[in-house]
Chains A and B, each alone.
Chain A
């Protein structure tokens, strides 16, 4: 009898205790949640010229960057592409494969490697102590760790506002390196060609974007990684119900047949990374042959490396648009490419 009234308060006290601890933990962690802020300031302390820095806001917070950074290491092909367009020289790069307009960076003697796009070589970076590290896309997940070491800015693009972020990234790099004039010219040219392209695409039929890899296909829609074709270039989507997702939706040839696009835009992922691509072989089948896109020779193999690997650079975006403008400008052909 006597134990029951005593046990109840004990249980209650224990429960309250647990609740208090839980709340304390919750609130103690709460304010720390936006982690990127304190980290870059730590990095800023490591910046060589105190007082000479400027605060640069970017995709993952803001960072104090030296006035004219000399030693720059880039972990993003899109940023490298934009820097190249701005005429900025970099001192270090990442990865092994430098396609198209970036071919000159393949010279490992001139441009030392600091790891891969996915995994920086922290020891080499620590030894080199660059003034600025630029991450983006594939390397953006390593931002926090890099920012704790050296001043780092992140140039990740937002698929939903692709062109805006590409322009914003270009302007940011221009500010950092004092290339505002060049950036203005580039952005103006970009906007102009977007306007021109938009005028030609809307009335020319619907398009479907397909990425092929290892003998499989996935489809991409508006707002997705390659959604810029629909969202900005104004190509009406043949499958508007496709949700935005990084790796697309797995589809078969039947899906292409039923969607029956007027234009089929193909990104051959395996060709993008330099391996013999099988996109043509995959799509050259009796079901795809029945689509309008195939019959009218409107299957467009987008420059794979430019589209898939570089993506959000200002030059690569221009090249993508030029390629699409070219195919839209050509008279229709009776047979497939």
Chain B
């Protein structure tokens, strides 16, 4: 660990980060920040409102499903054993899983954006999720009997290797435009995806692959989601070391100037992102856009200081996934629409809105 506390130097707002002082290609790699308002710190009451909103959504999530569960039924548990059972076995785990996955994926997206110094990347556009699912496929083919923890560990290793390759490529190629970074990520992701599809096709696993990679919480029950707490722990770690990511987000030279080890921070961030992605993909599948949209929305509200934005990103990420899953459960009751599908639709609309709004400001 580095010797100096990262809190000590007064941090400039990363949006207006160093220009000439940073090596030239690194400076050009930095994407333009999305327009920021109120960057000087968000009022805490607003965060409390957001937390309250997520709690309300969680309450709704507890009451929605095929079985009849209502507050009245829960208040008279002796007569409504079934309702209490369903709540404990199915609803609470599902709601917790949604909260945990939402929080950790959104924060992973934020870290990813800081490490790649670009606002358009997230685990699902940078090859992380694709390499994780390649890892899962490899486990399924080579060692189908492995317990979920081991499967996840293998997926995490693949995800780490994939993401490291992404960051390595980014360092090697001249980045003339902010859009090159996500394009590289998408290309790399597509290559992993092609490999996965090839093997899945050869072994007639295409449909299973589809099923397990589409984000879906319908199989979440007590005893089948607990791994997601691991992702939560990683998110907490990310919060603890948040300032380091803020600094790393300003470039290698800047980080080194502050006496921090840039490679170490990169490795830590990489590990967190890869493990979170692997855990989420292995337990509930892929949920696209959340890591992209949520951090960008949050940067509009509170700016780019990681310590300040991580709570926001976590809360809004949880809310986003909760809302998508509630929609997916309600639209076709008693059947479900996977959360991955809903998040894809909602997330892409939100993202388009963000992009267009940005043009408005510029033009």
Name A residues whose Cβ lies closer than 8 Å to a Cβ of B: 96-97, 213-217, 219, 249-255, 257-258, 269-270, 273-276, 282, 285-287, 290
Majority-rule SS of B interface residues: loop
A214 near B67 with CB under 8 A, answer no
Majority-rule SS of A interface residues: mixed
- Bound Cα distance A273, B212 (Å): 16
Q: How many residues of B contact A (CB 8 A)?
A: 33
B218 near A213 with CB under 8 A, answer no
A252 near B90 with CB under 8 A, answer yes
Can you sample 16 A-B contacts with CB below 8 Å?
Answer: A214-B207, A214-B211, A215-B219, A216-B214, A217-B219, A249-B332, A251-B218, A253-B221, A254-B65, A255-B335, A270-B208, A273-B204, A275-B144, A285-B89, A285-B223, A287-B86
From known contacts A252-B66, A252-B219, A253-B90, infer whether A97 and B144 are also in contact, taking CB-CB under 8 Å.
Answer: no
- 1/0 contact string of B273-303 vs chain A (CB within 8 Å): 0000000000000000000000000000000
Q: Which residues of A sit under 8 angstroms from B203, Cβ to Cβ?
A: 273, 275
A249 near B335 with CB under 8 A, answer yes
From known contacts A97-B204, A255-B66, A273-B204, infer whether A250 and B218 are also in contact, taking CB-CB under 8 Å.
Answer: yes
Q: Which residues of A sit under 8 angstroms from B212, Cβ to Cβ?
A: 214-216
B86 near A216 with CB under 8 A, answer no
B222 part of interface (Cβ distance < 8 Å): yes
Q: Which residues of A sit under 8 angstroms from B86, Cβ to Cβ?
A: 254, 257, 287
- Bound Cα distance A103, B89 (Å): 43
A215 near B67 with CB under 8 A, answer no
From known contacts A216-B212, A250-B216, A274-B204, infer whether A285 and B221 are also in contact, taking CB-CB under 8 Å.
Answer: yes
B205 near A273 with CB under 8 A, answer yes
Which A-chain residue is minimally distant from B220 (CB atoms)?
A: A252
Q: Which residues of A sit under 8 angstroms from B332, Cβ to Cβ?
A: 249
B221 near A287 with CB under 8 A, answer yes
A214 near B335 with CB under 8 A, answer no
- Bound Cα distance A252, B336 (Å): 8
Which B-chain residue is minimally distant from A247 (CB atoms)?
A: B207
- Bound Cα distance A216, B215 (Å): 10
From known contacts A214-B210, A252-B336, A285-B221, infer whether A275 and B67 are also in contact, taking CB-CB under 8 Å.
Answer: no
B43 part of interface (Cβ distance < 8 Å): no
Q: Which residues of B sit under 8 angstroms from A285, Cβ to Cβ?
A: 89, 221, 223-224
B66 near A258 with CB under 8 A, answer yes
Q: Which residues of B sit under 8 angstroms from A258, Cβ to Cβ?
A: 66-67, 334
B205 near A275 with CB under 8 A, answer yes
Q: Which residues of B sit under 8 angstroms from A286, Cβ to Cβ?
A: 85, 89, 221-222
- 1/0 contact string of B133-144 vs chain A (CB within 8 Å): 000000010001
Q: Which residues of A sit under 8 angstroms from B204, Cβ to Cβ?
A: 96-97, 273-274
- Bound Cα distance A96, B201 (Å): 11
